[in-house]
Amino acid sequence: MKTFTYSRAESPEAAVAAGGRFIAGGTNLLDLMKLQIETPEKLVDISRLDLARVERRGDGGLTIGALVPNSDLAADPQVIADYPVLSRALLAGASGQLRNKATTGGNLLQRTRCPYFYDTAMACNKRDPGAGCSAMDGFNRNLAVLGTSAECIATNPSDMAVALRALDATIVTLTSDGDKRRIAIGDFYRLPGDTPHIETVLRPGELITHVELPAPPAGAQGYRKVRDRASYAFALVSVAGVVAVADGKIVSAALAFGGLAPMPWRDAAVEAALVGQVPNDAVFAAAADALLAGAKGHGANDFKIPLARRTLIATLRTLTGAVA
């Protein structure tokens, strides 16, 4: 690990003024620092900031502090009651120990699990811009089939962010100039294009202070994660869904996908294929067609395309009560 200076911030304002790299739970940053994939010179410890509460707002929504640990958020009675898709997504991620340390802000910014990003002996455009992408013709079983570029096919590994995308969360930040910004989660992540090392619209030194959820949505919520082992593994494919049915028809649908793309993926065409329809397998298949129309496998990850189709259909059956 490269050495660094360390300071503990006493307030969000002091944290951004310090002008260093934030460390919260440390479960992703330290992992990468040990491998010298991340080499911050100045660490600013934000773990003691007073940003660890979940609070109900007047409009019925929830404001989640950036330092709320993943385990506490998953077990929060308000989240369980009104946003169970978020509890389910969090509980499907990592392990009990890691969730106790991982924070809401850190989880949003965790980096890819592409094996070549982790292997410093191999070329990787995300780690070393311009170096090339070893995954393109390599071991790309866990990589993306949607939203990729010729430079990078990595996935975003977060489960939590997939649920937040289906819930239309807003990310609230404090910029290094001391200004507050509000960023819809749909605008937060960037596709790789020819700059795969830039993953979000955050500016240097910008601090995530809160995540806001709108008032609880109508309908059934669920999170389905498919992975290589039953626990403690990243998603191959995951689906977060909020679907409401009234008078035998789907009246609203929000679906977000993990494991398929460089960001938690959402596609208005999927939802348009569902709303107004009687829930049945033909309708669900049309939604899957809309999702996967532009999907492109790279060999070892081709299986994700039919797997995503089946996972979406299974999730929709569960959420609408439709039988196969």
Ligand X SMILES: Cc1cc2nc3c(=O)[nH]c(=O)nc-3n(C[C@H](O)[C@H](O)[C@H](O)COP(=O)(O)OP(=O)(O)OC[C@H]3O[C@@H](n4cnc5c(N)ncnc54)[C@H](O)[C@@H]3O)c2cc1C
Q: Which is nearer to ligand X, 24 or 226 (CB)?
A: 24
With binding defined as CB under 6 A, does residue 133 bind ligand X? no
Tell me which residue of 128, 144, 203, 207 sits closest to 174, measured CA to CA. 207
Tell me which residue of 168, 206, 144, 142 sits closest to 12, measured CA to CA. 206
With binding defined as CB under 6 A, does residue 135 bind ligand SF4? yes
Report CA dihedral (163, 211, 110, 48) to the nearest 10 degrees. -140
With binding defined as CB under 6 A, does residue 14 bind ligand X? no
Binding mask 73-102 toward another protein (x if CB under 8 A, else -) reads: -xx----x---x--xx--xx-xxxxx-xx-
In the complex, minimum distance from the CB of residue 127 to another protein, in angstroms, rounded to a whole number: 17
In the complex, minimum distance from the CB of residue 276 to ligand X, in angstroms, rounded to a whole number: 33
With binding defined as CB under 8 A, does residue 215 bind another protein? no
In the complex, minimum distance from the CB of residue 295 to ligand SF4, in angstroms, rounded to a whole number: 16
134 binds, among ligand X, another protein, ligand SF4, none (CB under 5 to 8 A by kind): ligand SF4
Q: How many whole angstroms separate alpha carbon 133 and alpha carbon 125?
A: 6
Q: Is the dihedral of CA 87, 93, 98, 104 positive or negative?
A: negative
Q: Which is nearer to another protein, 23 or 283 (CB)?
A: 23
- How far apart, in Å, are the Cα atoms of 58 and each of 61, 79, 87, 167? 7, 16, 22, 18
In the complex, minimum distance from the CB of residue 118 to another protein, in angstroms, rounded to a whole number: 10
Question: Do the beta carbons of residue 259 and residue 112 sit within 8 Å?
Answer: no
In the complex, minimum distance from the CB of residue 4 to another protein, in angstroms, rounded to a whole number: 7
Amino acid present at 221: Q
Among 23, 54, 94, 133, binds ligand SF4 (CB under 6 A): 133
Q: How many whole angstroms separate alpha carbon 312 and alpha carbon 257?
A: 9
66 binds, among ligand SF4, another protein, ligand X, none (CB under 5 to 8 A by kind): ligand X
Tell me which residue of 146, 159, 171 sits closest to 64, measured CA to CA. 171
Binding mask 149-188 toward another protein (x if CB under 8 A, else -) reads: ----------------------------------------
Angle subtended at Cα 285 by Cα 217 and Cα 300, rounded to the nearest 5 degrees? 100
Among 9, 16, 18, 24, binds ligand X (CB under 6 A): 24
**Residue 168 — left, alpha, or beta (φ > 0 → left; ψ -120 to 50 → alpha)?**
left
Binding mask 154-173 toward ligand X (x if CB under 6 A, else -) reads: ---xxxx-------------
107 binds, among ligand X, another protein, ligand SF4, none (CB under 5 to 8 A by kind): ligand X
Size of interface with ligand X, in residues (CB under 6 A): 31
Burial tier of 190 (Cβ tally within 10 Å: 0-12, 13-18, 19+):
middle
With binding defined as CB under 6 A, does residue 155 bind ligand SF4? no
Q: How many whole angstroms separate alpha carbon 148 and alpha carbon 151?
A: 8
Rule CB under 6 A: which residues touch ligand SF4? Answer: 112, 114, 116-117, 124-126, 133-135, 143, 152-154, 196
